[in-house]
Amino acid sequence: MTTDRAQVKAALRRQRIETPSWAYGNSGTRFKVFAQQGVPRTPQEKIDDAAQVHRFTGVAPTVAVHIPWDKVDDYAALAEHARERGVTIGAVNSNVFQDDDYMLGSVTNPDPKVRAKALKHLLECVDIMDATGSRDLKLWFSDGTNYPGQDDIRARQDRLAEALAAVYERLGENQRFLLEYKLFEPAFYTTDLPDWGTSYAHCLKLGPKAQVVVDTGHHAPGTNIEFIVAFLLREGKLGGFDFNSRFYADDDLMVGAADPFQLFRIMHEVIQGGGYTDDVAFMLDQCHNIEPKIPGQIRSVMNVQEATAKALLVDVEALREAQQNRDVLGANAVFMDAYNTDVRPLLAELREEMGLDPDPMAAYARSGYFEKIRDERKDGQAAGWGA
Ligand code: RM4
Ligand code: MN
């Protein structure tokens, strides 16, 4: 391989992976939320835990918040709390899916009063971004219908477009929104933003501050996600990722757990497509229902790093040459050679150069942080989905 090891390490050192505040709280399925020990009770404590992930990996300096799960009186103070812990607040995630009013939709609801309420929340999220200094507003809508004939599919697109235009107008100069899509669930018949094409079409109409976010768990089985990534990057419309993995429907398992090869293929397109910059946000969107949460996040960050390292190791010159020579097997061999490289020693070396422990999982386990939060957070209401 001709790729320079030092260059690969320098690129990995620059990587930024954002962790989600909700990953630190209790979570589960609609069947059961299992309570874990030491779970944060407040947004501040979630940030404290996120800071641990950064402390042991060195590449997770931001934490995404979710409103109203992380509702506080003073967002500037929350941002200050984060800074004191060595991290900053990243994307603000809106939530227009957990209120009784939203049973038939939020911004696409046939009732204009419900639409106005949802829009008000989205605009409030931009106010929060002003206070926290966040660049990105992540918009995910659970809107859709369950039964044919329930509502007018096209009218719902009009309502969606109207709300998005109002949010777009409100964005500040250095702010953007990331429009997320999801194939289905909670709506079972139509979803108003079911795929990247729908998201892309809305974003294209609005302008450069509207970008598509690819949640890796939100596609039909067999979807070629790296193709979507390559296409969106070519169009300058890839705003970021919500990383996770899934075996069936959206289930928010650890990124790289189900299909590390897919993650590598995605990172290859990101790097080749010029997306390995701050303009593309690498966020985790996961829940740790049965595994411990902070180690789950550390493992996830490491999984992204490993896929990235392998993608950086692709011998691009040799790959191009094989492609030009129509050498199908040769090109595939160059690609697979990078994927099959064990990058763990390289990442351990990088961590040592960064003044970190080469083994973040073991270092966290030794740190005593879990025992501390287990004891300190005995009383009070743990954050999470309840149940
Ligand atoms: C959605 C979507 C959003 C996340 C919520 C909690 O399925 O992935 O990004 O904010 O879940
Ligand atoms: Mn998501």
For the segment 35-79, what is each residue's pLDDT rounded down to a tens digit? 999 999 999 999 999 999 999 999 999 999 999 999 999 999 999
In terms of Cα–Cα distance, which of 171, 169, 231 is closest to 195? 231
Per-residue pLDDT of the chain in tens (387 residues, 90 and over written 9): 446 999 999 999 999 999 999 999 999 998 999 999 999 999 999 999 999 999 999 999 999 999 999 999 999 999 999 999 999 999 999 999 999 999 999 999 999 999 999 999 999 999 999 999 999 999 999 999 999 999 999 999 999 999 999 999 999 999 999 999 999 999 999 999 999 999 999 999 999 999 999 999 999 999 999 999 999 999 999 999 999 999 999 899 999 999 999 999 999 999 999 999 999 999 999 999 999 999 999 999 999 999 999 999 999 999 999 999 999 999 999 999 999 999 999 999 999 999 999 999 999 999 999 999 999 999 999 998 643
DSSP 178-196: EEE--SSSS-SSEESS-SH
Tell me the C-alpha distance between 289 and 332, whole Å: 37
**What is the tens place of the pLDDT at every residue in 15-26?**
999 999 999 999
Which residues are close to ligand 2, an ion, with C-beta < 5 A?
215, 242, 285
Select from 23, 17, 93, 13 the least CA-distant residue to 61.
17
Distance CA 333, CA 310 (A): 14
CA of 361 relative to ligand 2 center, distance in Å: 25
Ligand nearest to the CA of 185: 1
Q: Which distant-in-sequence residues (6+ apart) come within 8 Å of 77 by Cβ? A: none
The alpha carbon of 355 and the centre of ligand 1 are apart by a number of angstroms equal to 34
For residues 2 and 136, what is the distance between their CA atoms, to the nearest angstrom? Answer: 37
384 forms bridges with which residues in the sheet? 26
Ligand nearest to the CA of 251: 1
* 163 CB-side CA count, 13 A: 31
Within 10 angstroms of residue 291's Cβ, the number of other Cβ atoms is 12
3-state SS string over 44-98?
HHHHHHHHHHHHHHCCCCEEEEECCCCCCCCHHHHHHHHHHCCCEEEEEECCCCC
Return the beta strands (E) in the chain as ranges.
17-20, 62-66, 88-93, 136-139, 144-145, 176-180, 190-191, 210-215, 238-243, 281-284
Q: Give the whole-number percent of the chain exceeding pLDDT 70.
A: 98
> Contact 177/209 with Cβ under 8 angstroms?
yes
Closest ligand (CA of 215):
2
Please give the C-alpha separations between residue 222 and each of 152, 183, 214, 239, 296, in angstroms, as whole numbers: 30, 13, 15, 23, 26
Whole-number Å distance, alpha carbon 285 to ligand 1 midpoint, is 7
Of the candidates 330, 343, 340, the one whose C-alpha atom is nearest the C-alpha of residue 303 is 343
Question: Closest Cα partner for 134 from 53, 79, 68?
Answer: 79
Comparing C-alpha atoms, which of 201, 179, 190 is closest to residue 104? 190
> 7 burial class (0-12, 13-18, 19+ CB within 10 angstroms)?
exposed
Query: How close is the Cα of 6 to the center of ligand 1, in Å?
Result: 37
CA atoms of 73 and 68, how far apart (whole Å)? 11
Nearest to 361 by CA among 286, 303, 312, 288: 303
Query: What pairs with residue 88 in β-bridges?
Result: 62
Q: Is 282 left (phi over 0), alpha (psi -120 to 50) or beta?
A: beta
The whole-angstrom distance between residue 95's C-alpha and the CA centroid of its chain comes to 15
The pLDDT of residue 384: 87
- Measured distance CA(278)–CA(88) in Å, rounded: 15
**Separation between Cα atoms, residue 133 and residue 174, nearest integer Å:** 10
Ligand 1 atom with the smallest distance to the CA of 250 is: 7
Lining residues, ligand 1, CB within 6 Å: 66, 93, 140, 180, 182, 215, 242, 250, 285
